[in-house]
Structure 1
Amino acid sequence: MKFARDTWLIFERQMLLLVRQPIWVFVGVFQPVMYLLLFAPLLKPALNAPTQADAYRIFVPGLLVLLAIFGGLFQGFGLIAELRAGVIERSRVTPISRLALLLGRSLRDVVSLIVQAIIITLLALLFGLTVFIGDLLLAYLMLALIALMTSAVSYGIALMVKSEDALAPLMNTIAQPVLLLSGILLPLTFAPGWLQGVADWNPFSWAVEGTRALFAGDLGNDRVWQGLSIVAVLTAAAVTWAAREFARSVR
C-alpha cells in the first residue's frame, strides 16, 4: 500500500509538470507526424502494396515503436536537470520508496507516449488505416512496455553519467543501431539474409513485427506473443536495474 501511494505521489507530481507544459507532448509527436505525412505516401509504390491502407498497416506500427523507443531513451535529460537543481538530493531525507521514484517518472512517460500514439493513430485513420480496437489496445500495451523499459534505462544511465554532454552521444549511439536493425521504417523481409540474422538479436525487431501483426488483425501470429514476452522480460530487468541505481544515488 505504501509503495503504491509513493508511486502515485511521484506520478501525480510528474503529470502536473507535464500538464503545465503540454507543448512537450506535441513537440514529441511533430517528427512522427512529418514521417506520416511526407514519407508514408511513398510506401505504396515502394512496397508494391495493394492499397495505401496496406502500406500504412506496415508503416504506422513501426512509427509508433520508433516513438516509444526515442521518447523513452531521452527522458534522462530531465532527471539530470533535477539532479542539478537538488530535487533528487532532497529525496534522501524522505521515506519514499526508491523504486517509486523511478516508476512514478516512467509511468508519466508511458502516459505521454500513449497520448502521442493515439494522435498518430487517429491521423493515420484519416489516410485509410483500419485496425480492430482489441488489437490496437494490445499494440498499445506493447508500446507502453517499450516506453517503460527505455525510460528506465535512460534514467539509470543519467544517474550514472550525471551530464547531458555524456548522455546525448551515449543515447544516440544506442538508438542508431536499434533503429536500423528493427525494421521500423521498412520491413526486414527486404533485407539480405545476413542482416535479418543480425536483426533477430535485436528485441525491438520482434516488437515491431508483433505490432505489425496486430495492426494487420493477425492476433494469433507467434510474433505477437514472442514480442510481448521479450519486451516484458527486458522491461522487468530494466526497471530492476534502474531502481537499484536510484537506491544507490538516493540514500
Structure 2
Amino acid sequence: MTAAPITTGLPKRSRVGKFVHDTYAVFIREMMLVLRDPFSLIFSLLQPLVFLALFGPLLEGMIGGADIGGESVLQWFLPGVLVMIAIFGTGMVGGNLLYELMTGAYERVLAAPISRASILVGRAVKEFAPLVVQAFLITIVAIPFGLAFYPAQVLAGLLILGIFGIGLGSLSYALGLLSKNREWVFWGVQQSVIFPLLLLGGMMLPLDTGPRWMQIVSKANPLTYIVDAERALFRGVFWDQAVLNGLIAAVVTCAVGLGIGVWKVRRTI
C-alpha cells in the first residue's frame, strides 16, 4: 500500500510571488530600523533647513531681490535643496551597509531563505519613504515663508525624487559591497562623485551665467534634469518637456542602479 504524500497545506508561490514576498519582508525590516531611530530622520532635516534659512536670503541679496528665471528665489531654490536631500541621504546608505559587513549582520541576512535580488531591492525601495517624507516636510515648512504650493505638482515632484532616490541608493549599496573591508574606498569615491554632480546640477546657483564648458558638461549630468523637473513642477507646471526629461532621468537612474546593485549582491559570497 502506497503512502500518501505529506502536504503542509501551504500554497506554493511562483518565482515572482516569492520575490515580491521576500522584497516586502526586507523592506519592512529596514523600515523598522528607521522607525526605531526617528531622531536620525529628524536630525537629517536640520541641514536643508539651514540652507533655506541662510543660503536663501544670501542668494536673494546677491541678485538684488529679483527673480531667477522668472520665479521667486524660494520657488527656485527649494527644489534644489530637495534634490540635495536625495543626494546626501540615499548616496550615503552604503556606509550603513559597510557597518553591517563589519559586524557580521549582513552575512546573517544572506543566510536567510530569501532571494539575493530581494535583499537589494527591498533595501533600495526603503529609501523611497524617508526621502519623500523629508522632502514633504521641508516643503510644508517653506509655505509660511512665501512658497506657492501646488499639491498635484508637488506630489509628482516627490514621486520623481523618490524614484531617483531608489536608483541612487542601489548604486550606493553596490559601492558599499565593492568597498568591503576598505571603508576609505567608499567614502573617497562617494565624495569625489557627489560634489561635482551637485555643482554641475545647478542646485545652488543657476548655470545659465556659468562658462560654456560647464553648461555643456551639465547636460550629461542626470541631476540637471531632475532639478529642472522639480523646479518646473514647483512653479505649477505639469505638461512641460523639463518634467518629462526629469522623469526619464529618474527612471533610467533607478533601472541602472537596481541592475548594478542586484548584479553585485548576487556575486557576494
Q: TM-score, normalised by structure 1?
A: 0.94
2:146 matches 1:128: yes
Q: Tell me the distance in 1 between the aligned counterparts of 2:206 and 2:239.
A: 19
Per the alignment, residue 33 of structure 2 pairs with 17
Q: Tell me the distance in 2 between the aligned counterparts of 1:234 and 1:68.
A: 13
Stretches of 4+ moved more than 3 A in 1? none
Per the alignment, residue 18 of structure 2 pairs with 2
Per the alignment, residue 49 of structure 1 pairs with 66
Q: Post-superposition shift, 1:91?
A: 3.1
2:79 maps to a residue whose letter is: P
Contact in 2 for aligned 1:6/1:100 (Cα 8 Å)? yes
Q: Tell me the distance in 2 between the aligned counterparts of 1:50 and 1:184.
A: 16
Task: Specify the SS of the correspondent of 1:8.
Answer: helix
Q: Calculate the aligned-residue CA RMSD, in Å.
A: 1.6
Aligned length in residues = 249
Q: Tell me the distance in 1 between the aligned counterparts of 2:99 and 2:60.
A: 44
Per the alignment, residue 63 of structure 1 pairs with 81
Q: Tell me the distance in 2 between the aligned counterparts of 1:187 and 1:243.
A: 36
Per the alignment, residue 233 of structure 2 pairs with 214
Q: Tell me the distance in 1 between the aligned counterparts of 2:157 and 2:84.
A: 13
Q: Tell me the distance in 2 between the aligned counterparts of 1:49 and 1:148.
A: 36
Q: Tell me the distance in 1 between the aligned counterparts of 2:80 and 2:145.
A: 16
Q: Tell me the distance in 2 between the aligned counterparts of 1:216 and 1:192.
A: 26
Q: Tell me the distance in 2 between the aligned counterparts of 1:5 and 1:187.
A: 45
Which protein has the bigger helix share?
A: 1
Q: Tell me the distance in 1 between the aligned counterparts of 2:29 and 2:129.
A: 13
Of 85, 94, 101, the match for 1:83: 101
1:27-60 CA deviation, whole Å, 9 max, x = no partner?
A: 2211111001111122334344359x81111000
Identify unmatched segments of 5+ residues in structure 2: 1-16
Identify unmatched segments of 5+ residues in structure 1: none
Of 97, 108, 112, the match for 2:130: 112
**Bigger shift: residues 154-163 or 95-104:** 95-104
Q: Tell me the distance in 1 between the aligned counterparts of 2:110 and 2:210.
A: 50
Per the alignment, residue 137 of structure 1 pairs with 155
Q: Tell me the distance in 2 between the aligned counterparts of 1:186 and 1:43.
A: 8
Per the alignment, residue 204 of structure 1 pairs with 223
1:76 maps to a residue whose letter is: G
Q: Post-superposition shift, 1:114?
A: 1.1
1:189 maps to a residue whose letter is: D
The structure with the larger Rg is 2
Task: Specify the SS of the correspondent of 2:237.
Answer: coil
Q: Post-superposition shift, 1:119?
A: 1.6
Map of 1:146-157 to 2, 5 A cutoff?
A: 146-157=164-175
Q: Post-superposition shift, 1:167?
A: 1.1
Per the alignment, residue 189 of structure 1 pairs with 208
2:152 matches 1:99: no
2:73 maps to a residue whose letter is: A
2:106 maps to a residue whose letter is: I
1:106 maps to a residue whose letter is: A
Contact in 1 for aligned 2:132/2:159 (Cα 8 Å)? no
Q: Post-superposition shift, 1:90?
A: 2.2
Contact in 2 for aligned 1:11/1:104 (Cα 8 Å)? yes
Per the alignment, residue 225 of structure 1 pairs with 244
2:232 maps to a residue whose letter is: A
Per the alignment, residue 193 of structure 2 pairs with 174
Q: Post-superposition shift, 1:184?
A: 0.4
Q: Post-superposition shift, 1:220?
A: 1.9
1:215 maps to a residue whose letter is: F
1:81-140 CA deviation, whole Å, 9 max, x = no partner?
A: 111222222233333121211122122222111111112101111211012111001100
**Bigger shift: residues 125-134 or 81-90:** 81-90
Per the alignment, residue 73 of structure 1 pairs with 91
